Amino acid sequence: MPAKITHFETHDVRFPTSLTGDGTDAMNRDCDYSSAYVSIYTDSDLVGHGMTFTIGRGNDIVCMAIKAVASRLIGKDTEDLFADMGKTWDWLLADPQLRWIGPEKGVIHIATGAVNNAIWDMFARKREKPLWKLVADMSPEELVRSTTFRYITDVITPEEALKMLKAIESEKEEREQKVREIGYPAYVTSAGWLAYPDDKIARLTKEALAHGFNHFKIKVGADQADDLRRGKLIRSLIDDPSLLPAGTPRRDVNSADLKGKNAGPTGSVLMIDANQVWDVQQAIDYVKGLEAIKPWFIEEPTAPDDILGHAAIRRALKPYGIGVATGEHAHNRMVFKQLLQADAIDVCQIDSCRLAGVTEVLSVLLMAKKFGVPVCPHAGGVGLCEYVIHLSLIDYICISGSMERNVLEYAEHLHEHFVHPVSINDKGRYNVPTDPHGGYSIEMRKASIAEYEWPKGSYWVGAKGK
């Protein structure tokens, strides 16, 4: 039955993670994980939820931008929007006055991401499927129609994308069944925040090993000697076979999923993340000094917009067996296009809401497939894990056809605030969302909004907030 959009609500929700050091890195040392959250309502019981992630102050500005973008949807027929999601995305970004303050970057772009994600959430709920399943069940033609190709046709055209999708279409059901059975591979960030003391790092690393994880990431960039010490601490734990769960099969470090990742004797992999703190030469010199801890890659070694800087860092670190990853602050598909064109990255790290929603994410997944670069999404923030499991499933089932080398970030924070939280199995893998009413898994609990909405939520007006 048709439904028209009648109104929307925004919520500025902030969690006091700065009190515990969660999310701390060399660039961002005072993080209150926050959600600029939107719910879009219709004249039926159909609702769509979306959000974008920030780390505190300025979240209210993003909410204001969301209101400006979402107001254009009032009166629109939802089925008209769902019929061509690529066209809907193009229209959503076509307001000339809002576009002017981007274009397609900054606050207005991440606000558009929240709104586009809410439309996709609504679409999936209407079809009574999880978001990933909605897209997995699309024909290649419909998936291409749901993607934006503006400004990237010099790298990939709709016709090219369609050919790529059709080439692996026949095995879609087999891949879906496989990932439902074993889960999607994950890596853990929660043990490696910069402000954590050694005893907490050791405890959390051991807990992650016991849970089946074999990929770990730590934050670096404040002090090279201290990073080397912390890295050696984690290495000593993840390379210790006695800490692996009983019955864990021996991992072949030369297998397809571990080859070139600097895996240790147990098959465990370490990654490092500098969160943009260095200039180009600084990054090269600093990371060379961490060669002893054998990182697979350095993430965000320099400014996220510096494509040629990333390329230079990658060339300089290649002889050391260390790759380069970036993308969580790549603000649109054109940045990813250039990173791929310049051979600047070994790992593509999309962000579910810095890009302007699912439609733009699809374009990056298609480009990464063409260039043969694995996609390992960023998920270190509130709601991001809930979002990105859907994106990784879409990538595996529909686009890349591979998950052997891919690992999806997992941070163990704030999942309890969502109606459909993610979960991890005992092999360190994401479980596949299956609730037909879960949509994009981003619906926040009303009680959490009431408690943590800024500035009048019960937490912020109470003694803790003061």
Q: What is the largest CA-CA distance in the chain?
A: 63
Measuring CA to CA, which residue among 321, 317, 257 is closest to residue 294? 321
Q: Which residues touch 175 (CB under 8 Å, ≥6 apart)?
A: 396, 397, 401
Q: Give the pLDDT confidence of 415-430 residue by residue, as tens digits.
A: 999 999 999 999 999 9
Torsion, Cα 437 430 138 331, to 10 degrees, reads 100
Give the pLDDT score at 318: 98
pLDDT band at residue 466 using 50, 70 and 90 as cut-offs: low
The answer, yes or no, to whether residue 236 has pLDDT greater than 70, is yes
User: Hey, where are the domains in the chain?
Assistant: 172-430
The answer, yes or no, to whether residue 28 has pLDDT greater than 80, is no
Q: Give the pLDDT confidence of 325-358 residue by residue, as tens digits.
A: 999 999 999 999 999 999 999 999 999 999 999 9
The answer, yes or no, to whether residue 465 has pLDDT greater than 60, is no
Give the pLDDT score at 413: 87
Tell me what the mean pLDDT of segment 359-383 comes to. Answer: 97
Can you point out the beta strands (E) in 345-465? 347-348, 408-410, 429-430
Catalytic residues: 219, 378
Cα distance between residue 49 and residue 39, in whole Å: 4
pLDDT band at residue 368 using 50, 70 and 90 as cut-offs: very high
pLDDT band at residue 27 using 50, 70 and 90 as cut-offs: confident
pTM: 0.97
The answer, yes or no, to whether residue 241 has pLDDT greater than 80, is yes
172-430, which class in CATH? Answer: alpha beta
Tell me what the mean pLDDT of segment 364-390 comes to. Answer: 97
pLDDT band at residue 463 using 50, 70 and 90 as cut-offs: low
Tell me what the mean pLDDT of segment 217-238 comes to. Answer: 96
Give the pLDDT score at 31: 87
The answer, yes or no, to whether residue 24 has pLDDT greater than 80, is no
Q: Tokens 């860092």 — which residue?
A: 313
